[in-house]
């Protein structure tokens, strides 16, 4: 039985991780930490766990963790995470880190997009980008996994087969995404105040969204060359899910049937990627760890539609998928 | 042309008032004030008015108002309002006040429910409760109107005909209401954070909601005796509207047909109250100044269903209806 | 491993049952049937199960079931169910029936509310009402369970402790409920067309809702006397959940603390009922088999707030809870 | 006072037109027609108009119209419209037609996309495309206006300034749109059944949407050359509004400031187009006839964000704007 600690348990990804572990036959939750003002009985902090978990969320005490836990799901925000991850590793835990701190390999790009100097470049070097469909072998047995961002997960699964085969121009990829509001986190704000967000849809992060360099880095690794992505996120009036519509310019003559065949081949043995014969919908995957993809050719473009649940495949589900891989468990435990 | 000032213009009721005045053929907006940090061009504070209003929201300067405006819609919060209303009246303006400060005739009940001593009992005495369907004559020509609360508006219109005729027991009225979220105002909070409020519905103010004494006061005036109301509000995942289900115990044998006839008689000449032959829906009145009512007898009870838009008939629309009455204009101007 | 068949698998309760069984360590799905026009690969009928179930939904062939399955979750509509349940029982299966056909013990009341003569009174006599918190002992080992209606589940759990102790008057209980839209089923209709239902809330079934006699029958069994309930349902703009606000008139002097103590005692050992210290919210239980309850005394009434997920505790979850009890399994398997 | 008839009044665009005319000081509604099964008192067909309109919706009788009305808002569906428009014109009425029947100048393209032969090519030749911001002069005094489609309205206003100046490549425009659900019309369907559409977002009309040739035709007229547009619509869980994100490849070096200046110049005198300094949101324009636009340069592309209300600027509001122009009235009457 894998013993799991959640560091930064008071947010939505903490709660989602707790929900998944309840259904995991070979992992159990042993420790929960959060900022002092967010601590308390789990059932008080999250009424949905009343009677389901008999644990307290407490201020982080890393000393207790060495004997208590095998793995930490580190749900801390960017910048805070790289302060604590070295300590968690030093305490002998495996770490799946939800923040961006170990995703961008180049500390200068990190500094540019996150406005802070990277303080743990030692561990950054060893961290593996935890997108199992692309990097499963490297994840196995590793100590530190950088759990991917939600948008990059959906976008990269949509374009990986095309990039691997060199089928598209690498300077004109457009990723147009609409996310549910849980992506904004648990802190109230004017934009996500219900009477403002309800019946609304808006674009944000125009030309500046931090997931852009992450997408470009991994896409570049797949393609073996520099990739430029115009990524435009939007927020829509629903809780969960990301719908990405990806527009690519083909380098070669290709049709929809050939594209579908390529995607079927690429993802045949992947438990969590389903290639569809029709356009997917956010609700087809909400609450699950699945990514549904549909690819077609129209008007001179390859258009790929991809949907994931931002809190599951885009965060907590993927983290537990990574945890399962690290420990050599069946990859879908807790995620059925 | 009536010249209108809105004091406290930066909230939802301010915006709704602005929207209505745009369509009012005999009123125009001349002045908008708010707290300094909420000031600016109307089109910047409220993008929905960009190109529609060429006004600034500015910090309140009562001295300017005497020559500028005929009437103030005072959208300040409870407690703040009674500081400024005397000054607005002294400046020679008619005032329609949206707060609770001039609704409760008994300063002690006010103090009990609002936890502050009433500081303007002089004007409190003269204020008229602005529910036109009940107090139209008293409103005409008045200087200060206490615009009713949203829940009391829907509930009182539902029970007034029954109380007037003495048909129900006055100690066992239950008002079960569900309101849209705009009732919570424009300040973000955890409860109304979109990912929390969406797909949710909850009760609040159990046994303590401040609209209870307001309902009981006016219901008592109508009945000519003390009335006790168990009022239980809930919040639901929509922007606008209040659905009230009111349960009353009849004193006499009565059937649905007789009840419908009574309500039809009561509201025949009321432009904004429609007696329905079937249960109304929130969406039938959203965005309008109308109240739809359905009354029936079942299982030993009279059940009355009432719907209003909390921002229109429950606030800004009713305020402008009151303004129209004060100035002797056609009551429905701006409200069609 | 319990082998489960779902009869009438193409609706929302069929899908929810499939979802739960995926997470059940001692049950597996072996057979799915539906009307011919709704048959096909599970992943085509319900895209959310693509890659998760490798089964077909096929037209019902009862002959195949004897050797194939141990239990049938019968998700057929009222009236259709009593045609097939006798055949399922004859084939040697245990049956948990989701319809109303085996809930009302009096065939005349059934006929009055469902406008059809009961055709299987033999099995009706033996059926047990499957509300485990009240009838766990009778459920154990039984062949036919009448799975409770969604509204009665929430309402009965709210009033059972009060009725058992004889604390309330049995002729003046009011149950005011708001349900999510999945309760309306999978067939499109004008009322539940998104642009009509969104931003809406309405009452329905005024004085006539079919769950009224069901509530009254079970409440009467608990109380040991006739109980009359005024049940008023409403539909609100969310997918899942029922919020019930129950108003009762106490027979004795009682306060909130005493009420809380009573409810705590009543439900202390119940895994799926949580007594809250504050008002519950629909989102606290959405997607779970839990019922959260808060009880208080105010204005001469006992008010009980109860929330359940209509598709889980109000249908599929409770059915699987019943299945677990029938077969002597741990009651919460699949439902954590 | 312009006398208005609405033909095909029982749908959402009919209701929206009725709502606008209520607020129009120089137009009044005199006649409403629909299919026989959708006829009745306005207040019964549309409860939101109870007490606001005292009219009947009746089966169409064109003979009555000659003396009764000056203009018909023809809200009939595609294909049906071209049967009735010639008769309405022959009866001496001006016609604003909401269908696609008079938008596509080439009957062969019409036949290809609408699968039916065009039967009124005579009037088709004379019809003017009713996008006032582009074709105001041609609209004035005309007898037949083809009211634009909802998606083309938002998309064309977003790209017109770029095409006029020849700033973008005309073979690589991508229009990615998300529409509210009222665009699907009033007939219930599985996709728009509330429990399916709520919390959902999906793509449709991939490579085939009928608004594509309409956009390409008008864009081509503006550009003076063939324009190819990859248009991809999506449906999201809200009632009203279209958010379009338009990606264009510039022909010349240009920056965001130059683009903003160009758009400001283009729309300076347009009452209903507002050029924003930040990204617009659907809720900024819901319920209004306004189009908000933001343009920027990023990652080698010009990206234009455009929002309209599909029922107002995308249908009924624009129709009444056209009606105002035809009759020489102030263009914003009823639309403030």
| Chain B CA closest to residue D18 | B336
pLDDT in tens, C230-276: 999 999 999 999 999 999 999 999 999 999 999 999 999 999 999 99
pLDDT in tens, C172-225: 999 999 999 999 999 999 999 999 999 999 999 998 899 999 999 999 999 999
CB contact under 8 Å between A241 and D286, yes or no, is no
D188 touches chain C (CB under 8 A): yes
Tokens of B51: 């190109």
Chain B hits for A181, CB-CB cut-off 8 Å, are 194-195, 198
- Spot the catalytic one: D74, D150, D248, D291: D150
Judged by CB atoms closer than 8 Å, whether chains meet at B239 and C199 is answered as: yes
> DSSP readout, C261-305?
HHHHHHHTT-TTEEE-SS--BHHHHTTSS-EEEEEEEETTEEEEE
Pairing of strands B229-235, B202-203: antiparallel
Chain D interface includes C188 (CB < 8 A): yes
Q: Quick one: tokens of A305?
A: 């539609």
Q: Give residue-wise pLDDT tens across range B268-281.
A: 999 999 999 999 99
Q: Which residues of chain D are within 8 Å of residue B47 when distances are taken between CB atoms? A: 276, 280-281, 284, 292
Q: Distance between CA C149 and CA C158 in Å, rounded?
A: 14
Percent of chain C with pLDDT over 70: 100
Query: Is A222 an interface residue toward C (CB < 8 Å)?
Result: no
Kindly report the nearest CA distance between residue D196 and chain C, in angstroms.
Answer: 8
**With contacts defined as CB-CB under 8 Å, which chain C residues touch A52?**
288, 290, 336
The confidence score (pLDDT) of residue A289 equals 98
User: How open is the CA angle C283-C285-C290, to the nearest 5 degrees?
Assistant: 170
Exposure pattern of B233-244 as b/e (b: 16+ CB <10 Å)? bbbbbbbbbbbb
- The count of other CB atoms within 10 Å of the CB of residue B322 is 29
Q: Give the Cα separation of A223 and A170 in Å (integer).
A: 8
Locate the chain A residue with the closest alpha carbon to C18: A336
Condensed to tens digits (0 to 9), the pLDDT of residues D121-141 reads: 999 999 999 999 999 999 999
Chain A interface disruption, residue of B11, B185, B195, most A CBs within 10 A: B195
**Helix, strand, or coil (residue C231):** strand
Please report which confidence band the pLDDT of residue A205 belongs to, taking 50, 70 and 90 as the band edges: very high
C282 touches B at CB < 8 Å: yes
Distance CA(D10)–CA(D38), nearest Å, equals 6
**B234 pairs with which residues across the strands?**
B178, B203
Say yes or no: C46 contacts chain D, CB-CB below 8 A: no
Partners of B179 on chain A (C-beta within 8 Å) are none
Mean pLDDT calculated for residue range C87-108 = 97
Please judge whether D203 and A301 are an interchain contact, meaning their C-beta atoms are less than 8 angstroms apart.
Answer: no
Instruction: Please check whether residue D148 is in contact with residue D112, taking contact to mean a CB–CB distance below 8 angstroms.
Output: no
DSSP calls for A200-238? --EE-STTT-THHHHHHHHHHHHHTS---EEEEEEE-SS
Would you say the C-alpha torsion A258, A262, A265, A269 has a positive or negative sign? negative
Q: Residue A202: which of D207, D281, D298 has the nearest Cβ?
A: D281
Q: How confident is the model at residue D262 (pLDDT cuts 50, 70, 90)?
A: very high
Q: Find the mean pLDDT for residues B188-196.
A: 98
DSSP state of A48: G
Give residue B302's pLDDT: 98
Share above pLDDT 90 across residues of chain A, in percent, rounded to a whole number: 99
Closest CA in chain D for residue C181:
D195
Report pLDDT for D274: 98
**Segment holding C52, helix H or strand E:** none
pLDDT at C81: 97
* Catalytic residue numbers of A, as ranges: 150
Mode of pairing for the β-strands spanning A242-248 and A173-179: antiparallel
What is chain A's mean pLDDT, rounded? Answer: 97
Name every chain A residue with its beta carbon within 8 A of the beta carbon of B238. Answer: 198
**Residue % of chain D over a pLDDT of 90:** 99
Residue numbers in D near C239 (CB within 8 A): 194-195, 198-199
Residue D192: both structure tokens together: 């728009």
| pLDDT bracket for residue B262 (50, 70, 90) | very high
Of the candidates A12, A195, A199, the beta carbon closest to that of B195 is on A12
Are the beta carbons of C71 and C97 closer than 8 angstroms?
no
CB contact A193 to B (< 8 Å): yes
* Region label for C26, one of left (φ > 0), alpha (ψ between -120 and 50) or beta (otherwise): alpha
B150 catalytic, yes or no?
A: yes
In this prediction, residues C16-31 reach a mean pLDDT of 98
Distance of CA A12 to the CA centre of its chain: 13
Task: Please list the active-site residues of C.
Answer: 150
Q: Any chain C CB within 8 A of the CB of A207?
A: no
CA–CA separation, D283 vs D146, rounded Å? Answer: 27
**The pLDDT value given to residue D127:** 98
pLDDT of residue D331: 97
pLDDT band at residue A81 under the 50/70/90 scheme: very high
Residues in chain D: 336
* Mean pLDDT score across all residues of chain B: 97
Residue A203 forms contact with D (CB below 8 Å): yes
**Measured between beta carbons, which residues in chain A are less than 8 angstroms from residue C283?**
48
Pair of tokens at residue A77: 């925000």
- On whether the CB atoms of residues B246 and B159 are closer than 8 A, the answer is yes
**Hey, is the C-beta of D201 within 8 angstroms of any chain A C-beta?**
yes
Residue C176 contacts A, CB cutoff 8 Å: no
Q: Which of D284, D285, D291, D320 to mutate to test the interface with B (most CBs of B within 10 A)?
A: D284
| D192 contact residues in C (CB cutoff 8 A) | 188, 193-195
D249-264: average pLDDT = 98
- Strand-pairing partners, residue A307, are A243, A292
How far apart CA C315 and CA C320 sit, in angstroms, is: 9
- Which pLDDT belongs to residue B320? 98
pLDDT on residue B277: 96
User: In C, residues 284-323, which contact B (CB 8 Å cutoff)?
Assistant: 286, 296, 298-301, 303, 305
């Amino acid at each position: 039985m894998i013993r799991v600690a959640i560091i930064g348990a008071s947010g939505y990804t903490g709660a989602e991780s707790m929900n998944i572990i309840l259904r995991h036959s070979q992992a159990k939750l042993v420790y929960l930490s959060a900022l002092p003002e967010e601590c308390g009985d789990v059932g008080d902090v999250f009424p949905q766990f009343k009677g389901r978990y008999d644990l307290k969320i407490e201020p982080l005490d890393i000393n207790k963790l060495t004997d208590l836990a095998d793995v930490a799901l580190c749900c801390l925000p960017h910048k805070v995470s790289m302060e604590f991850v070295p300590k968690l590793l030093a305490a002998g835990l495996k770490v799946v880190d939800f923040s961006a701190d170990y995703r961008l390999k180049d500390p200068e790009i990190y500094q540019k997009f996150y406005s802070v100097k990277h303080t743990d470049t030692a561990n950054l070097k060893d961290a593996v980008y935890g997108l199992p469909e692309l990097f499963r072998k490297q994840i196995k047995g590793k100590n530190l996994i950088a759990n991917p961002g939600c948008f990059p997960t959906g976008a990269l699964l949509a374009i990986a087969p095309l990039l691997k085969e060199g089928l598209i121009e690498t300077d004109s990829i457009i990723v147009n995404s609409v996310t549910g509001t849980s992506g904004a986190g648990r802190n109230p704000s004017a934009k996500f105040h219900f009477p403002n967000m309800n019946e609304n849809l808006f674009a944000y992060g125009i030309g500046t969204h931090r997931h852009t360099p992450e997408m470009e880095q991994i896409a570049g690794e797949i393609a073996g060359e520099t990739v430029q992505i115009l990524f435009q996120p939007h927020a829509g009036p629903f809780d969960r899910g990301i719908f990405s519509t990806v527009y690519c310019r083909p380098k070669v003559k290709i049709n929809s049937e050939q594209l579908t065949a390529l995607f079927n081949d690429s993802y045949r043995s992947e438990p969590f990627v389903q290639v569809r014969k029709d356009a997917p919908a956010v609700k087809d995957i909400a609450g699950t760890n699945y990514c549904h993809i549909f690819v077609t050719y129209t008007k001179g473009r390859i258009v790929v539609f991809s949907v994931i649940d931002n809190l599951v495949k885009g965060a907590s589900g993927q983290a537990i998928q990574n945890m399962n891989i690290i420990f050599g468990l069946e990859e879908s435990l807790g995620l059925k």
